[in-house]
């Protein structure tokens, strides 16, 4: 039976003494995730290809007291040797991890299919996209999510009693998919939307198959949030800005603004702490999927 004091926010969503890993953690949603976890007591290892970005993110946003943000890498998540290297490095520092956030991703090629004549439509898509770009997008956004998760399975399971402090299905994986993988509108980037659709399904596959080792797998499916992917740049603190006007111009966002970083943080804490949540795709999109057909 839960007494009222069990419903205090810090007891529901606190992650004190958790050990977490966030890929693509130096900017954007990965950094939002790391900040939310560290601010609530977790030790968060962030990894990515650019060590300077990771170190700057950790220096700029490491919270005072309690949690930590720690650079780990560099690591290219499409490279199995890199993944094996950071897992081995982490095994030398930690007995287990409580949560893995597979967040690294790329946007892929863009070619808005706006032409109404088939000849012109073909020319636009044929000339502005390539199989190599499609494969690169899929490799980062889907294949790497799978192999990153597989690489960390032993450290995740080690968090389960009696080796670790957590019950079965306490440790978890969060993938970053996208609202783009849940809609029919191509948004001008077929490759990205197709890849994120695959990430959604991969999440469900891993959730089902990895139940046997006691690990949960869920996905956050963001709408428009400020990141290097959406804003095309970041500042000296690894942060990006996405003006309301840019979102309003799209015409399909009911809230008429980008998501707030704190709103992403709330979602990450929810997915991390709720042990009864498994195999779910949580869209945090400001209502876009109410407007655009899924």
Residue 231, pLDDT score: 66
Residue 236, pLDDT score: 77
Q: Count CB-CB contacts under 10 A for residue 56.
A: 18
| Fold classified for 14-291 | Rossmann fold (3.40.50)
Q: Hey, where are the domains in the chain?
A: 14-291
Query: What digits encode the pLDDT tens for the residues 48-65?
Result: 999 999 999 999 998 876
Task: Write down the pTM of the prediction.
Answer: 0.95
Distance CA 132, CA 287 (A): 33
DSSP character for 52? Answer: H
Where residue 35 falls among pLDDT bands split at 50, 70, 90?
very high
Q: Residue 258: which of 291, 292, 285, 229 has the closest Cα?
A: 285
Task: Please give the positions annotated as active site.
Answer: 177, 192, 196
Q: Residue 200: which of 168, 170, 223, 176 has the closest Cα?
A: 176
Query: What digits encode the pLDDT tens for the residues 68-112?
Result: 999 999 999 999 999 999 999 999 999 999 999 999 999 999 999
């Amino acid at each position: 039976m839960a007494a009222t004091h069990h419903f205090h926010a810090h007891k529901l969503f606190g992650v004190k003494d958790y050990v977490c890993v966030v890929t693509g953690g130096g900017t954007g949603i990965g950094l939002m995730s790391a900040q939310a976890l560290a601010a609530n007591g977790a030790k968060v290892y962030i990894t990515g290809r650019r060590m300077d970005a990771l170190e700057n993110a950790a220096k700029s946003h490491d919270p005072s007291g309690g949690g930590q943000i720690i650079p780990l890498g560099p690591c290219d998540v499409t490279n199995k040797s890199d993944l094996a290297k950071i897992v081995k490095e982490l095994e030398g520092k930690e007995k287990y991890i409580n949560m893995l956030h597979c967040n690294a991703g790329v946007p892929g090629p863009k070619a808005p299919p706006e032409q109404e004549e088939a000849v012109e439509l073909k020319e636009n898509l044929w000339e502005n996209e390539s199989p190599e770009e499609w494969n690169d997008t899929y490799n980062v956004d889907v294949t790497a999510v799978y192999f990153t998760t597989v690489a960390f399975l032993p450290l995740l399971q080690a968090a389960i009693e009696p080796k670790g402090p957590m019950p079965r299905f306490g440790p978890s994986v969060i993938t970053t998919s996208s609202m783009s993988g849940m809609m029919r509108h191509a948004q001008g980037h077929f490759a990205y939307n197709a890849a994120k659709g695959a990430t959604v399904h991969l999440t469900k596959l891993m959730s089902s198959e990895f139940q046997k080792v006691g690990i949960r797998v869920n996905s956050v499916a963001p709408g428009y949030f400020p990141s290097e992917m959406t804003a095309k740049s970041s500042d000296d603190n690894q942060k990006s800005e996405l003006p309301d006007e840019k979102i309003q111009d799209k015409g399909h966002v009911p809230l008429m603004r980008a998501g707030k970083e704190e709103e992403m943080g709330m979602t990450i804490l929810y997915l991390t702490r709720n042990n009864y949540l498994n195999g779910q795709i949580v869209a945090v999109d400001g209502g876009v999927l109410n407007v655009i057909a899924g």
